[in-house]
Amino acid sequence: MNNLRTVVLLATISGLLIAVGGVVGGVGGVIIAGGIAVAMNFGSYWFSADIVLRSSGAHEIERTQDPHLFQMIEEVANRIDMPMPRVYVMDTPQPNAFATGRNPKHAAVAVTTGIRQMLTDRELRGVLGHEMAHVKNRDILTSSVVATVASAISMLSFFALWFGGRRNGIAALIAALIAPIAATIIQAAISRSREFQADHDGAEAVGDPEALASALAKIEAGVQRVPREVSQATAHLYIANPLGGVNVGRFFSTHPSTDERIQRLRDMR
């Protein structure tokens, strides 16, 4: 169901791009904006892992520095049928984690020192399953495609606001004001859908939905207590929104409510 929802949302945001392009400059407008957006996001996708890891302050560690963590990650990687990822640590008391990489062969998993201290091994294993499920499901690719389309919509909306008003009247004004908001809402909805899917697939691979449910409850409390400043562009990658108490509204949130995630996980038992 989550995968079907993602497909529907991708089709919707693609249709929105075509509609806005038609208002501004017809087929040519769509092609030009799409080409610019692809060029802008191609590098971001190709080098996404390094960009996110650097911006998060994560540093790579070797097996000898934390053999127990490596053993857990290796076990989960085998369960989820993907190669051993690179391992990174973020020195922060906030309990959180993320995975990145354009495919399983170029994956990296990053955990905070806070999550290592807060969670049991069983709970951390559930978190690692969730994160590696993101990579296995090519969610970085999905988010990159959505970002490309959303960028193109924003560009076309800018053109509509400044150059299309006299030519297309009210349609151009609507495209300029409404389309970027609609694209942002759809982008956030796709992100939430991928979180649900990673919860399900990770818990299924590890064979312990309750472990992830318990971890999410602790992480949510920890994130609210110790918020962390990160880029809005990368916040969606974390298992819980690292910005903590920042409330952007349900429709604009990149993460589902923790209560709903926990309930879905417990329904799997």
Which of 62, 75, 123, 131 is flagged as catalytic?
131
Indicate whether 81 pLDDT > 80: yes
Q: Give the mean model confidence (pLDDT) for residues 218-227.
A: 94
Sheet holding 97-100, edge to edge: 59-60, 86-90, 108-112, 97-100
**Residue 164 DSSP code:** I
Sign of CA dihedral 76, 82, 86, 90: negative
Q: Give the mean model confidence (pLDDT) for residues 227-239.
A: 85
Indicate whether 154 pLDDT > 90: no
pLDDT of residue 167: 52
Burial class (CB in 10 A: 0-12, 13-18, 19+), 70: middle
Query: What confidence tier does 267 reach under pLDDT thresholds 50, 70, 90?
Result: very high
Q: Tell which residue, 241, 208, 231, 247, has the closest CA to residue 52.
A: 231
Indicate whether 269 pLDDT > 80: no
pLDDT of residue 45: 65
Q: Give the other-Cβ count within 10 Å of 179's Cβ.
A: 22
pLDDT of residue 158: 74
Per domain, the residue ranges of the chain are 2-267
pLDDT of residue 200: 97
Query: What confidence tier does 209 reach under pLDDT thresholds 50, 70, 90?
Result: very high
Indicate whether 165 pLDDT > 60: no
What tens digit of pLDDT does each residue of 101-137 get? 888 998 999 999 999 999 999 999 999 999 999 999 9
Rg (CA), the chain: 20
Q: Is 131 a catalytic residue?
A: yes
> What is the distance between the alpha carbons of residues 39 and 171, in angstroms, rounded to a whole number?
28
Lowest mean pLDDT among 83-87, 155-159, 168-172, 230-234: 168-172
Q: Give the mean model confidence (pLDDT) for residues 168-191.
A: 79
